[in-house]
Chain A
Amino acid sequence: MNKTRQADLGTPGVGTAATVVVEIDGRKAEVTKGTSILRAARETGVDVPKLCATDSLKPFGSCRLCLVEIEGRKGYPASCTTPVEDGMKIRTQTDALARLRRNVMELYISDHPLDCLTCSANGDCELQDMAGAVGLREVRYGFDGANHLDAEVDTSNPYFQFDASKCIVCSRCVRACDEVQGTFALTIEGRGFESKVSAGIGESFLDSECVSCGACVQACPTATLMEKSIVENGMPDRKVVTTCAYCGVGCSFQAEMKGDQVVRMTPYKDGQANHGHSCVKGRFAWGYASHRDRVMAPMIREKTSDPWREVSWEEAIAHTAKRFKAIQEKYGRKSIGGITSSRCTNEEVYVVQKLVRAGFGNNNVDTCARVCHSPTGYGLKTTLGTSAGTQPFDSVMDADVIMVIGANPTEGHPVFASQMKRRLRQGAKLIVVDPREIGLVRSPHVEASYHLDLLPGTNVPIINALAHVIVSEGLADEDYVRERCDLDSWESWKAMILKPENSPEAVAKVSGVDADRIRAAARLFGNAPNGAIYYGLGVTEHSQGSTMVMGMANLAMATGNLGRSGVGVNPLRGQNNVQGSCDMGSFPHELPGYRHISGDDVRSQFEKHWGVTIDPEPGFRIPNMFDAACAGEFKGMYIQGEDLAQSDPNTHHVEAALSSMECIVVQDLFLNETAKFAHVFLPGTSFLEKDGTFINAERRINRVRPVMPAQQGKQEWQITQELAQAMGYPMNYASSAEIMDEIAELTPTFNNVSFAFLDEVGSVQWPCNEAAPMGTPIMHIDHFVRGKGLFVETDYVPTDERTNRKFPLLLTTGRILSQYNVGAQTRRTANTVWHDEDLLEVHPSDAEVRGIKDGQLVSLASRKGDITLRAKITTRVKPGVVYTTFHNPETGANVVTTEYSDWATNCPEYKVTAVQVAPASRRSNWQEEFAARAKEQGKIAIDAGR
């Protein structure tokens, strides 16, 4: 029998507490009012047979197996579509029902292959189960009649196959695509006996609009839609619930195992962030963990031109410690530092920052959040008091107007996007603020009321203009402001916002968005009972990123949209643990829990616990480290799971800095771009091996459980701990649970958190402490964390990055569904079938004047550098704007980006670069160098005996 299948109550819950009393098969039961008979029966332990019903989908009533008898009613109503009523007397098993069910099953099986023993769903097939349950013993129709047994198998999708011969046309896949995922890619083609599931008009799954989220495969009760990994390996024998390591949604998954091999990842229905849904990355793109490129042994080399040499862990760690100590002796205590990774667990991050602060004796620790959401931390802390989003994802189901700013949820945060689309299909209105026509602007059954297609770099004037309309037209919630906000700041902000330069008419000239549209959008948002803002890196990665974050917080406060469900200011975090890595004290100026390093009280707590003296001065941020390196003052870096060389802006500068250092230690799964400049490589673990916690965009602390042992022999926290010991700092954790215990002890917002507690309750959202023992889904409920909400003036200061005759276009960047950030993981999976190179989106008119054809090679040049890539001509971008993704290292998108950055946090201005585009015939010089280096390093790796 199947060991990994999750419980299924047949129909969704109805979300009410009211109950009625019914009698099911003679037993009285108190059941939820309005729930289906099917679910009510299952909740009381009576399994009515079913095939087309599943509790993630609305009832459908097609299979006719769940028929029951109800006293006083004619016929045999389907229990999935009939709600319980008080006093109802239901019989689920009678002779007549048994006969009907057997006869219906006989019809099914008369058009189904009899290959159960060799079928990939053998042991996990609901049809098989039901045939057993109803006692089908013969098929009197024979098997010579019309059938679909010769239907072709569609194997076009790299991860799953569609075997129409096994399809029972229950429509669960079609409904999952519609209701759960919201893509509407599948349909039932034809009618009657000819009905068949189709992914498009004569298209294969791969060529269709299918986004491979896996919802259909999950919903399929037979082997019709089946993971290829199961076809190849057979059924799993155990399962481990863990958390996805891709984006900041933090989906819970069931890793389904055969021995220590993963054979399938299925979304976990009790996962509070994803409620059983998934995307192509989390569901399918986990094969990178066992990719042949993965480095399995520590390696060192003297110079970066030397071949790598495999060494023992002991040697690697002793060598590293020796080098770091030597550098510190020669160049001073502050000449080395560390980078924590938002892909690693809180526990792994915590020990790295602890190593830097206690072992290196400085505060030179920073994290990749520097380059993504640092303005979020700064802006939300300043205005509201907490460096985090305000809502749980489920809050969106109570929103009336949703404003999405600088985020592309259907590509970047697909599982949350599906939830948002579900709400939009229920009738919530949508405003999209984005230079580009992202998918949400118009997709099946979802259309933005307003798309403010602003020029890159003009977020602040737009948010100011929206606020201008709301304040000047009396749409602000003055009662709310009076009760909850700092009134002096309100008055001065109001004066600022009402200035003529913040009027839609003035802003229209700067942003390129019609004043009327700005006004209309502002009115829509201002009049919404619940208005919610969701944003992404299109907000933060600007020279005024922090200003914009505060601008959104101002708007939310002014409209009273904070502190309850359906509202809020919600960052969509890029990485799985960017929230956690920030929480863990990864910034040079903050100890865990966002407490400033200069605070004597806080520092002394840590000093006491750690037994060291902590430097009260903030350390270097990443760009400071690069600058110091170029100046010859910064010589060693311990880099945990981040690819600085690919992901940081102005690649030329980054490469110069990295080349100037004496000991770069890269801890990663793969020899990434940064490793080309490294002297020590410490192999890391994949999320499948980690034991710890991730924190998603809604502050939810999720457990990451090891489904297999560390493949290279050590947990990453152990590596860091051994390095600390070798550096002379005693770090002696026996488990990662002990690390969390220390975090909880030293961090007020984590006081109640422990592995044992998480294992018991599933997950919690911080703050989780004595005041909120079960966590805090919604922040700022009665008052803001900082006390009174602070309005901050947000005058627009244009970026110094300007277009001119030489660089007349603005480049902005983004992500695509199938790939993830620098692509280290996804490029090592079959996801490349959807995206194997980064393309430059160009508007037809910009292409026309430059003589650029679709698919043609073009050069993309900025003041910083130039690269060559292929053009895609599309009206998704407007004239004057070009767009690309940055998933492939050989593209070198960051060769062209500048070092301009957020005034408050140095978050790079990735989203605005003045460029020129021209037809090209060859790769750029940098790309030629890159290719040569890749070849060289590849050779070095081979020489090292890999």
Chain B
Amino acid sequence: MTTLVYVPRETSAVSVGADEVAVAIARHAKEAGESIELVRNGSWGASWLEPLVEVVVDDQRIAYGNIAPEDVGSLFAAGFLSGGKHARRLGPIDEIPYLIGQDRWTFWRCGLIDPLSLDDFRTHKGFAALEKAFADGHEAVLEAVAASGLRGRGGAGFPTGIKWRTVADARGTQKYIACNADEGDSGTFSDRMLIEGDPFGLIESMALAGFAVGANKGYIYLRSEYPLAHAILSRALETARHNGWLGEDIQGSGFNFDIDLHLGAGSYVCGEETAMLESLEGKKGIVRYKPPLPAFEGLFGKPTVVNNVVTLASVPNIVRLGAERYAALGVGRSKGTLAFQLAGNIKRGGLVEKPFGITLRELIEDWGGGTASGRPVKAVQVGGPLGAYLPASQLDTPMDYEAFIEIGAMIGHGGIVVFDDTADMAQQARFAMEFCALESCGKCTPCRIGSTRGVEVIDKMIANEDREANYDLLIELCDTMEDASLCAMGGMTPYPVRSVLKHFAGDFRDPAGGSK
């Protein structure tokens, strides 16, 4: 009898030894004369438990967490292939609290399936949404996406239904789907986890989008820092093409659609949609002015849907299960779920997919288990390097686009980075400007020069040179960058800076933590 063993092949798991664990398991099994089938699945998102090994016993997946290669011997000794007791044994995967509390609408196949097995994907409703779309027609897809209330998960939160409708109605026969997988925000990894855990899911999503708006070509712009995602996605694209899920006349539907995978070149601003389009066109990744919106004049000047990986990947279930079910989740105008990513100084880092409305505190405390250091939370940065630093007093803010805008913050791509009370927030303000200076495309003046001057002004404040005059200057610089920058890069860099000035001003005087 062959035993099924899952060891994730996902970047964060691999970074803590998953590959070595897999090798060790194979070796031990061989030595022990045990017949096993090793499946390299995606991650369930409980990164704090990686490498998280599962073994299938009586159709149940028994999990063992934080396995090091040197633990494998003892696992075998403990009879783990039949679910034996071991210090690292977590019990059935579907009983782990971190996972059972989630609403995995978009990430439901991540961890569950073999990412590169088309059969496994098909067994788990893969391409069912696309088939349904073929049956119901593109109008039904457009309506479902609109009715779901889905908004762009890349950060801007623009209603996806309106975007798709605009492209569908735009003049011209050549249209494109451009998937933004240039996931550059600090503390974010949901795009990568999805690609590594469910690549066919993304392919199906893009085909759905193409079918809905009348595009026959898709592009995935993947950041170069994701080599494993690139390898997995490349294989998946090949398999899909080979099996008639991409290319001409997909599954006899008459619909043509293919996808090109494009690797970025290490520029953060290429995650900005117009810079990404420039880069996809083979040009230097600098921002375009808008309007015209990409929906009218996008890639190569043609109407283009530009969506983030998670946005796209949310669609198949909307089509398959109905928009109402999705719209029933969430709060206010923030419908559905978001894959929150817990990072920074946190005990239980990982991906948590929950409906909007959950508070930061719930995420950080209930899921994250507080700081890894055990010290009090001082600040939380939500939404990447351009997101505001929220003080502990704002932890009860519900995760809701509008509620965040109200407090001068943004949800962005759902990345949550936690800092404890030892953090020097003046340095974090400086870092915001420094990051902008490093990553600015250099097109517009406020961002190109302003960010560099911002670092200098903050340095002067920290060094107590004309602190008040420089404070005023910094505020004016923030106004200038926010109001005059060409894109959100320069326009939002002031967010973290202002939030530090507002909530942690004491750190400029007393870096040791004056605002504790």
Q: Do A and B come from one complex?
A: yes
Q: Which residues of A contact B (CB under 8 A)?
A: 59-64, 67, 75-76, 78, 81-82, 96, 99-100, 103-104, 107-108, 110-111, 140-141, 145-146, 168-169, 171, 187-188, 190-195
Q: Is A188 within 8 A of B284, CB to CB? A: yes
Q: Fill in one digit per residue for B194-234: 1 if any A CB lies within 8 Å of its CB, else 0.
A: 00000000000000000000000000000000000000000
Q: Which of B289, B439, B448, B483 contacts A195 (CB 8 A)?
A: B448
Give residues of chain B (98-122) contacting chain A, Cβ–Cβ below 8 Å.
Answer: none
Q: Which of chain A's residues have a CB closer than 8 A to the CB of B239?
A: none
Q: Which of chain A's residues have a CB closer than 8 A to the CB of B440?
A: 191-193
Q: What are the 9 A-B residue pairs with the smallest beta carbon separation, nearest first?
A: A195-B442, A61-B289, A192-B440, A107-B449, A103-B480, A81-B289, A64-B484, A193-B452, A145-B456
Closest to B480 in A: A103
Report Cα–Cα, A427/B479, bound state, in Å.
43
Q: Is B486 within 8 A of A62, CB to CB? A: yes
Report Cα–Cα, A194/B473, bound state, in Å.
23
Q: Is B442 within 8 A of A107, CB to CB? A: no
- Best-buried of B436, B445, B446, B448 by chain A (most CB within 10 Å): B445
Interface size on B, residues (CB 8 A): 36
Closest to B269 in A: A191
Q: Is A141 within 8 A of B289, CB to CB? A: no
Measured CB to CB, the closest approach of chain B to A459, in angstroms, equals 37
Q: B147 in the interface, Cβ–Cβ < 8 Å?
A: no
Say what secondary structure dominates the interface of chain B: helix
Given contact pairs A107-B449, A141-B453, A188 touches B486 in the complex (Cβ within 8 A) = no
Report Cα–Cα, A96/B483, bound state, in Å.
10
Q: Which residues of B contact A (CB under 8 A)?
A: 267, 269, 284, 286, 289, 291, 436-453, 456-457, 469, 473, 476-477, 479-480, 483-486
Q: Is A76 within 8 A of B449, CB to CB? A: no
Q: Which of chain A's residues have a CB closer than 8 A to the CB of B469?
A: 140
Report Cα–Cα, A809/B65, bound state, in Å.
80
Report Cα–Cα, A103/B481, bound state, in Å.
10
Q: Is B476 within 8 A of A103, CB to CB? A: yes
Measured CB to CB, the closest approach of chain B to A151, in angstroms, equals 15
- Best-buried of B456, B473, B483 by chain A (most CB within 10 Å): B483
A-B contact pairs, 18 of them (CB 8 A): A61-B443, A62-B443, A64-B444, A64-B446, A64-B484, A64-B485, A75-B483, A78-B486, A100-B479, A104-B480, A107-B453, A110-B453, A141-B453, A169-B442, A169-B448, A191-B439, A191-B442, A192-B437
Q: Which of A61, A141, A171 contacts B486 (CB 8 A)?
A: A61
Measured CB to CB, the closest approach of chain B to A353, in angstroms, equals 54
Q: Which of chain B's residues have a CB closer than 8 A to the CB of A108?
A: 445, 449
Q: Which of chain B's residues have a CB closer than 8 A to the CB of A104?
A: 445-446, 480, 484
Q: Which of chain A's residues have a CB closer than 8 A to the CB of B439?
A: 191-192
Given contacts A76-B483, A110-B453, A191-B440, 16 further A-B contacts (CB under 8 A): A64-B445, A64-B485, A78-B289, A104-B480, A108-B445, A110-B449, A145-B452, A145-B456, A169-B448, A188-B286, A188-B442, A190-B442, A191-B267, A191-B442, A192-B436, A192-B437
Q: Which of chain B's residues have a CB closer than 8 A to the CB of A96?
A: 483
Q: Which of chain A's residues have a CB closer than 8 A to the CB of B451?
A: 192-193
Q: Which of chain B's residues have a CB closer than 8 A to the CB of A81?
A: 289, 291
Report Cα–Cα, A145/B437, bound state, in Å.
13
Measured CB to CB, the closest approach of chain A to B286, in angstroms, equals 8
Q: Is A100 within 8 A of B483, CB to CB? A: yes
Q: Is B480 within 8 A of A107, CB to CB? A: yes
- Best-buried of A61, A82, A99, A108 by chain B (most CB within 10 Å): A61
Q: Which of A100, A168, A188, A190 contacts B484 (CB 8 A)?
A: A100
Measured CB to CB, the closest approach of chain A to B105, in angstroms, equals 32
Q: Which of B442, B476, B477, B480 contacts A192 (CB 8 A)?
A: B442
Q: Is B444 within 8 A of A111, CB to CB? A: no
Q: Is A62 within 8 A of B444, CB to CB? A: yes
- Best-buried of A62, A188, A195 by chain B (most CB within 10 Å): A62
Closest to B466 in A: A140
Report Cα–Cα, A171/B442, bound state, in Å.
10
Measured CB to CB, the closest approach of chain B to A133, in angstroms, equals 16
Q: Which of chain A's residues have a CB closer than 8 A to the CB of B289?
A: 59-61, 78, 81
Q: Which of chain A's residues have a CB closer than 8 A to the CB of B486?
A: 61-62, 64, 78
Q: Which of A76, A99, A193 contacts B442 (CB 8 A)?
A: A193
- Best-buried of B269, B286, B444, B485 by chain A (most CB within 10 Å): B444
Q: Is A192 within 8 A of B441, CB to CB? A: yes
Q: Which of chain B's residues have a CB closer than 8 A to the CB of A171?
A: 443
Measured CB to CB, the closest approach of chain B to A34, in angstroms, equals 12
Q: Which of A59, A61, A145, A191 contacts B444 (CB 8 A)?
A: A61
Given contact pairs A61-B444, A103-B477, A146-B456, A193 touches B449 in the complex (Cβ within 8 A) = yes
- Best-buried of B289, B437, B446, B456 by chain A (most CB within 10 Å): B289
Q: Is B442 within 8 A of A146, CB to CB? A: no
Q: Is B480 within 8 A of A100, CB to CB? A: yes
Q: Which of chain A's residues have a CB closer than 8 A to the CB of B443?
A: 60-62, 171
Measured CB to CB, the closest approach of chain A to B441, in angstroms, equals 5
Report Cα–Cα, A67/B439, bound state, in Å.
24
Report Cα–Cα, A145/B480, bound state, in Å.
19
Closest to B443 in A: A62
Q: Which of chain A's residues have a CB closer than 8 A to the CB of B485?
A: 64
Q: Is B449 within 8 A of A111, CB to CB? A: yes
Report Cα–Cα, A417/B61, bound state, in Å.
70
Measured CB to CB, the closest approach of chain A to B263, in angstroms, equals 18
Report Cα–Cα, A929/B94, bound state, in Å.
99
Measured CB to CB, the closest approach of chain B to A127, in angstroms, equals 11
Q: Is B442 within 8 A of A194, CB to CB? A: yes
- Best-buried of B289, B436, B442, B480 by chain A (most CB within 10 Å): B442
Measured CB to CB, the closest approach of chain B to A101, in angstroms, equals 9
- Best-buried of B437, B446, B448, B450 by chain A (most CB within 10 Å): B448
Measured CB to CB, the closest approach of chain B to A447, in angstroms, equals 15
Q: Which of chain A's residues have a CB closer than 8 A to the CB of B441?
A: 191-192
Measured CB to CB, the closest approach of chain B to A83, in angstroms, equals 8
Report Cα–Cα, A171/B451, bound state, in Å.
19
Q: Which of chain A's residues have a CB closer than 8 A to the CB of B450?
A: 107
Q: Which of B269, B436, B438, B445 contacts A107 (CB 8 A)?
A: B445
Report Cα–Cα, A59/B292, bound state, in Å.
12
Measured CB to CB, the closest approach of chain B to A58, in angstroms, equals 10
Measured CB to CB, the closest approach of chain B to A131, in angstroms, equals 13
Q: Which of chain A's residues have a CB closer than 8 A to the CB of B436?
A: 192
Measured CB to CB, the closest approach of chain A to B267, in angstroms, equals 7
Q: Which of chain B's residues have a CB closer than 8 A to the CB of A194?
A: 442
Given contact pairs A64-B485, A78-B289, A140-B469, A192 touches B448 in the complex (Cβ within 8 A) = yes
Closest to B442 in A: A195
Measured CB to CB, the closest approach of chain A to B356, in angstroms, equals 24
Measured CB to CB, the closest approach of chain A to B446, in angstroms, equals 6
Q: Which of chain B's residues have a CB closer than 8 A to the CB of A141?
A: 453, 456-457, 473
Report Cα–Cα, A141/B449, bound state, in Å.
11
Report Cα–Cα, A100/B450, bound state, in Å.
12
Report Cα–Cα, A110/B480, bound state, in Å.
15
Q: Which of B442, B476, B484 contacts A67 (CB 8 A)?
A: B484
Measured CB to CB, the closest approach of chain B to A141, in angstroms, equals 5
Q: Is B484 within 8 A of A76, CB to CB? A: yes
Q: Which of chain B's residues have a CB closer than 8 A to the CB of A110?
A: 449, 453
Closest to A65 in B: B445
Measured CB to CB, the closest approach of chain B to A807, in angstroms, equals 47
Q: Is A193 within 8 A of B448, CB to CB? A: yes
Closest to A142 in B: B456
Q: Which of A103, A187, A192 contacts B284 (CB 8 A)?
A: A187
Q: Which of chain B's residues have a CB closer than 8 A to the CB of A190?
A: 442
Measured CB to CB, the closest approach of chain B to A174, in angstroms, equals 10
Closest to A145 in B: B456
Q: Which of A60, A63, A75, A146 contacts B452 (CB 8 A)?
A: A146
Report Cα–Cα, A192/B289, bound state, in Å.
17
Report Cα–Cα, A169/B448, bound state, in Å.
9
Q: Which of chain A's residues have a CB closer than 8 A to the CB of B484?
A: 64, 67, 76, 100, 103-104
Report Cα–Cα, A602/B85, bound state, in Å.
118
Report Cα–Cα, A193/B284, bound state, in Å.
16
